[in-house]
Chain A
């Protein structure tokens, strides 16, 4: 944003604020599925939106801010996963139950968390965001072939983890 005038900054801030207000809820939900945790989802979304702010003039005028934000959410989650793995250290015992304790579908939540991050991202982007394989490949910066293979493995694993779904023939082969 170097070289921006006060008018530019004010206009960009307004546009950015409107964008955040419009996308906050859907992308919080996406982040929640990716992380499996209410607080981590908020942290991931905030970090991604702060990054988006620094590129806002370029992204808003020339690109697709939704695709950009989606990609930052996925990449941010991958970075966090690589830094911390599955281990989550806490210095104090939480003094209250988190919102996720009342999950309406704990089986699915646990099954999603059991998937490797790449497979989880493919499942969430394909089945929650309804993205095409090509769009998922762009978001994950991989080939369509990789998306297909990861998707197949993820569904196989989910069928194993969610036997009730298998019995009902709920998931595609």
Chain B
């Protein structure tokens, strides 16, 4: 083969600077895709099983109206539904036995994937934004583009997890130790315990997640994380609200 065409193709391909790889964003989107596939599969299986059971038990067609289901809303499905909408969140974090030391407010635009996290007190930044897959940070003055992971909160935890209810629930329930607590005032409560061995020291997470039954959306996630044998533990409370309302994130 002549080298001319290859040379010209290479020159054409290398003409401009390449964009920065949005690795965190790709992982986030990949996890959402995994969750969606999992939830869809589970949903289809549950629907088929329920329909079959009803048809057998009642000896009637599947299309007949059925009584209101008393089954708890699956956390995975709630996470998947929550993830399809724009929303805002409030995060509080601090020692488990004292008042929160960090407060953050944030929002996520499900259409563009843009998001922001604003310091309400105690954080190590004024505001961070993901815009078009690029992370920007401001400490109160100018905006800086950063290649470090976005949404690092003041206590070193990755608040990107908290910005995404599906990812947070996925992380916190990854051990599968999730139990249904019950339903009260139209809200389902789930309890979870998981162990995180990512870091040098093992962290144990325990807490609850609440789901609004009517909308099947995640309302809040509250948990403590602690190092076994260590008296100090951290309490994190995240509430998700204003689902479906527009979230405007502008370019810094």
Using a CB–CB cutoff of 8 Å, the interface residues on chain A facing chain B are: 1-2, 4-7, 9-10, 13, 16-17, 20-21, 24-25, 28-30, 32-33, 38, 42, 46, 49-54, 56, 99-100, 102-105, 108-109, 112, 123-124, 126-128, 130, 158, 165, 168, 170-172
Secondary structure class of chain A's binding surface, majority of residues = helix
Closest chain A CB from B229 CB (angstroms): 20
Q: List residues of chain B with CB within 8 A of the CB of A109.
A: 12
* In the assembled complex, B181 has its CB within 8 A of some CB on chain A: no
Collect the chain A residues with CB atoms within 8 Å of residue B111's CB: none
Instruction: Collect the chain B residues with CB atoms within 8 Å of residue A1's CB.
Output: 34
Q: A6-B198, A29-B13 are in contact. Are A108 and B8 (CB under 8 A)?
A: yes
Closest chain B CB from A123 CB (angstroms): 8
Distance in angstroms between the alpha carbons of A138 and B168 in the assembled complex: 39
Partner among A17, A20, A54, A124 whose Cβ is within 8 Å of the Cβ of B9: A124
Flag the segment in B21-29, B63-71, B91-99 that touches A. Answer: B21-29
Contact yes or no, B16 A126, CB < 8 A: no
Interchain pairs with CB closer than 8 A, number? 112
Residues of B within 8 A of A54 (CB): 30, 33-34, 37
> What is the total number of residues of chain B having a CB less than 8 Å from a CB of chain A?
39
Please determine whether A17 and B8 come into contact, CB atoms closer than 8 angstroms: no
What is the minimal beta-carbon distance from B129 to any residue of chain A, in angstroms?
Answer: 19
Interface set of B (CB-CB < 8 Å, partner A): 1-2, 4-6, 8-19, 21-23, 25-27, 29-31, 33-34, 37-38, 133, 171, 174-175, 194-198
